Structure 1
Amino acid sequence: MKQFVTEESFWELFPDAQIGIVVAHNMKPESEVSAEDAATIAKALAEANGKADQHLESNTISQNEVVAVWREAYQQFKTKKGARCSIENLLKRVLKGNPVGSITPSVDIYNTVSLTYALPVGGEDIDAMDGDIRLGITEGGDSFLALGDEEESPTLEGELCYRDNAGAICRCWNWRDGVRTALTDDSSKAFLIIESVDPARADDLAAATEALADMVSRYLGADIFAKEIITRDNPTMVIDE
């Protein structure tokens, strides 16, 4: 059995945070996604790039409320220089007229949800995880090879990250994913995460979680093994038997 565990060190920093989790099992590999469904996903992503404009009231990215809350959050723990919340990186592309393009069906789906609701969304391959996945403050030195990098970049002392028994999974909360547990074209079991630090956006988080579950079920043929909103009062859930 594998679990997702949010540690007390996380809740001490963000007592009002909420995390929407969708656990998808038996996802189709990319090769089995129909051309029609792939086109529908790509269209949804293109539309989401347009919808993202509604969240951008200022041309200065940090002055938009959906980004400002995360800038403040990232000041609460140790980060690698230049690390930013994943939603800031996506919205910055929209602001610059450089829409987020298609990658793979599973990644396109969570980018669609992220842009639509202006919330950070990520995904990991459950089968590639070593034991439970935990979110908390690390003592540093956790092994990590980021996507696109050739050299390892271990975690810092005091950094907030997702990790398992083998090392870090996603550094600086939701900044960068690692190679080891990244979703691939053939991933069958996905751990999908949507994070919110703004209590006023609880309804948006719930809607985004529902939308994410619906899309992976409808277009990737996934069985939704679990779907929950993680809070301080509900800090742990089972993600695999």
Structure 2
Amino acid sequence: MGQGDSALIEHEGQTMLIDAGPLDAGPTILSYLQNCGITNLDVMVSSHPHSDHIGGMVDVLNEIPVQLFVDNGATHTTPVYRDLEKVLVKKQIPYATAGWGDVIPFTDDVHIEVTHPDYLSDDMNEDSLALLLTYGDVTLFFPGDCEQCDATADVVKLAHHGSKGSASRGLLHNDYPQDVIISLGRNNDYHYPAPSTMNALTKAGISVHRTDLEGTIVLKTDGKRYWFV
């Protein structure tokens, strides 16, 4: 997918796509969805309107029905964001703005709570929707690009592609998380992940899974334990 973020959640026939990578990621994401037999998305979430998170959304929206689109209410002036606005209106896709304390509808036994933001500032990265997913005893945290967001979770999709501030002290505490996923492009221009971030994760004894080295990362859970496949 390259230098960007995208995560697919599937459970009991329900599907949610969180972000859709950079501008050229659309065909790759569509191919993956089709290979998974997915012909409908119940929810599409935009953590924030930067192009490395919404870049592939227009391609997906043009090919796959989406029942609900959720974002944090922030807008942008970029062509990729304007194109996204146009296709949402054209296809009359139901839209909702989410913030702290909201719950994104999914299934009865998968709880997806918005833990951030409680208000919008002028920092798009820090204003990212942060989602805490709970299924049984297993928790996953998706903070978008919000480096200051933290939660107690088994698995964390690290903020901002493993940037210098992504492994904050608030995030690395007690025995959590056990695993982190870093979504980033190989040989990216930002030299992510930052050495200080990798050092902090290693020191904390956290297992690291990187898309630039492993490609698509698949995690499965039965609500009691989880494993990577």
TM-score by length of 2: 0.31
Greater per-residue helix proportion = 1
